[in-house]
Structure 1
């Protein structure tokens, strides 16, 4: 397998010409990139023929698994029929119109909120840039142009463009590029393991954490705040799952002050949490929903914003021209692949399968890892899961971040045929939704093995007793 790939040659070309995202270029060039050459089901292979279980669905996106000929065929047919045309100048195309209608049909109505309109982009980052433009246009049209402030969360992730990275609350990103841009601010994340008070219940913490939003609104001035943006479950921040009390209190607060609520579901939508859209699971009522990634299972770039009727009505009826959009908004090939992807998800009932079968099974198996001496906490929600590596299990004492114990564990994972992501001292997974029980068992076995190896390394280096 892969015998025709000259690994050293590809690595040399890569080092000479390819600047990777979120990468220390000098460090990577000194080692050479891992060359992935093939994928099937829930596995990928590198250029040396090594089989690796992909516990991250590529980058949270390959929900239907690898090797789906049906998606390649959909792209091929559309490329022959209409490979591209733009959506400017009062034009549309068949797949873009059909997909918009289908997405609207999948978004459940919660209370008086429904989603009948879609604005297309090519990624989650572009979609969140679009949210900034739409939110501020909405308030301008309502005669409240002073409402420009958008509140996000510390350690939230909303993309890497100037606006997306500003909406997110990651200090490392803000340190490069003079971010955040004006009129974007942040509150603390609802991370119970790290932010709870002594003796505080998870339920009480959820209410208190939501209260940080109200405090920030009052600090900024309620008449200045346009929207609050958050992920239902924080993904790139380390699979931070909020307490059940968090989102109902957030809803009460945004309703009280009349601000818009943006649900960034780039990771959480399309079955990841056992629902088509994650806001249904948590019972809140967003005005805008960011989507991307799994809408095509990552087979081709596509993103967008589900625009709630509260916002769309103002933009349509009072708007005039909305001076925003992209060359690839509503790309016909991407939309055709998305339609075929949704066909697979519906035919195989992947959303229900996560909710009723493999999600609960993963939760039961993942809980077994909590007994490991290196693990301080485990969490699952649908088909995402995370654990915290700790220096002392009894006290919950953490490792010094400079020791990069998470990256140590990640190296053992890659070395033993598993892709598991490290976010500081949190190890996280988000596997394809097509996983079988046997493959989940394989995944848990690999995680246990890599935790054992990491534990042994920390002891050998004197990092713990």
Structure 2
């Protein structure tokens, strides 16, 4: 009989395929096993404690080990551990959460629809958009525009929206009818002598040229994160959204605001939509919605979208879409309690109070010799690294910085050569300084080694 591996690390290597990981390299180096978490900290299997500088995956808003969320899950598990929302069925937590989200939306929304992840929410948004075009007798209006370096998920459809090469390579993506316009990253995309205002105008002009070249009658929707997350924390140039939105309205193109990272306080307002004065027709939500304690995501759609979808479902006799676990009662109960915590503790106000320190320390890193740009807003930011010795190996410097941060007790995330910071919203000013002290020490160590 074959002897099975004993340690958790060995069993992981033997049996698990990991996301965003070099599978062969993983076989050699093995995993970091995280055993527990409390507040802004997590602890690995050796007992070493780390600041979780990315809030898990941009998502644990209220921190780790929040007992109120554990208790909310336990209460609901005892009462109704599972039910669905198919075929005229419902349950209390999904009704309450739908009402909460529609009423707290920063722009008028008609209905909430539940899914299980940001990827599923954006994938479903695409289906709703196509369904609506057919309902309106416009079968040619199916093309969707997103942006280079945008991130919208990893299903076949949502990964096609995502504008990052590694999400397309060897997956035969993007699929047809998905178009990409330029990234609004001023430093890398500006022309010589071009002001930020002129750059924003050029971004808008390129979008309009793409629409006209393809035919406005064929463009159904535009997807955009208020602030780009996984593409490198790209904060839009001043005036960008004020120029883009009128173009969408001019050509009757739906606007989908991907709030998966920005939503629920991250940018200093409850939604990034508020921060930038957006008027989306659809909002996609996830991550901080439940602080990722349980899988939960949602779409909010306005009446312009819902009305046509409802009419088409009546014509067909059903809305033929849904997920077994969508609107799961336990996940919905946790999300409701999570939103209560965010509101009761005024975590959005807390972000506004602490953000100046966060951004001051972030931009101070921008003075380091290895850093070519620092950028951020609210409680999300990044530093982009460069060094002549590693210029021909993209991502190598980010990997070195990531290792140096981890060794010193800070978990960040290397997005190529960009180091991202997106801590739990509960982080205190002292903890902000602790996090950036570690980052400074890590950069110093990398610079010395080079």
Please classify the TM superposition score into its range, dividing by the shorter chain length.
Answer: over 0.9
C-alpha separation between the residues in 1 aligned to 2:272 and 2:395?
35
Superposed, which structure 2 residues align to 1:4-403 within 5 Å? 9-109=7-107, 114-320=108-314, 321-355=318-352, 357-391=353-387, 399-402=391-394
1:457 deviation in Å? Answer: 2.1
CA RMSD of aligned residues (A): 1.5
Q: Is the 8 A contact 1:389 1:398 kept in 2?
A: no
- For residue 272 of structure 1, give the secondary structure of its aligned residue in structure 2: coil
Q: Is the 8 A contact 2:145 2:181 kept in 1?
A: yes
- For residue 163 of structure 2, give the secondary structure of its aligned residue in structure 1: coil
* Alignment match, 2:429: 437
Further displaced range: 261-270 or 199-208: 199-208
C-alpha separation between the residues in 1 aligned to 2:219 and 2:264?
30
For residues 248 and 89 of structure 1, do their structure 2 counterparts lie closer, same or farther at Cα, with a shift above 3 Å needed? same
- For residue 113 of structure 2, give the secondary structure of its aligned residue in structure 1: strand
* Alignment match, 2:420: 428
* Alignment match, 1:4: none
TM-score by length of 1: 0.93
- For residue 314 of structure 1, give the secondary structure of its aligned residue in structure 2: helix
- For residue 226 of structure 1, give the secondary structure of its aligned residue in structure 2: strand
1:217 deviation in Å? Answer: 0.7
1:96 deviation in Å? Answer: 0.2
1:8 deviation in Å? Answer: 6.9
* Residue 447 (str. 1) matches residue 444 (str. 2): no
Corresponding pairs, count: 443
* Residue 414 (str. 1) matches residue 406 (str. 2): yes
C-alpha separation between the residues in 1 aligned to 2:393 and 2:104?
42
Please list every run of 5 or more consecutive structure 2 residues that lacks an aligned counterpart in the other structure. Answer: none
1:403 deviation in Å? Answer: 6.2
1:44 deviation in Å? Answer: 0.5
| CA distances 1:328-374 after superposition (whole Å, capped 9, x unpaired) | 1111000000000011001100012212x011221122221121111
- For residue 106 of structure 2, give the secondary structure of its aligned residue in structure 1: coil
| CA distances 1:61-107 after superposition (whole Å, capped 9, x unpaired) | 00000110000000000010000011111100000000000011111
1:317 deviation in Å? Answer: 3.9
C-alpha separation between the residues in 2 aligned to 1:400 and 1:246?
32
* Alignment match, 1:463: none
Q: Is the 8 A contact 1:190 1:209 kept in 2?
A: yes
- For residue 65 of structure 2, give the secondary structure of its aligned residue in structure 1: coil
1:398 deviation in Å? Answer: 8.4
1:210 deviation in Å? Answer: 2.2
C-alpha separation between the residues in 2 aligned to 1:444 and 1:196?
29
* Residue 404 (str. 1) matches residue 402 (str. 2): no
C-alpha separation between the residues in 1 aligned to 2:162 and 2:394?
23
TM-score by length of 2: 0.96
C-alpha separation between the residues in 2 aligned to 1:241 and 1:97?
35
1:28 deviation in Å? Answer: 0.5
C-alpha separation between the residues in 2 aligned to 1:457 and 1:88?
58
1:188 deviation in Å? Answer: 1.4
C-alpha separation between the residues in 1 aligned to 2:416 and 2:298?
30
- For residue 424 of structure 2, give the secondary structure of its aligned residue in structure 1: coil
- For residue 129 of structure 1, give the secondary structure of its aligned residue in structure 2: helix
- For residue 38 of structure 1, give the secondary structure of its aligned residue in structure 2: strand
For residues 398 and 145 of structure 1, do their structure 2 counterparts lie closer, same or farther at Cα, with a shift above 3 Å needed? farther
Q: Is the 8 A contact 1:101 1:116 kept in 2?
A: no
Over 4 Å off, 4+ runs:
none
1:297 deviation in Å? Answer: 0.3
C-alpha separation between the residues in 2 aligned to 1:47 and 1:90?
46
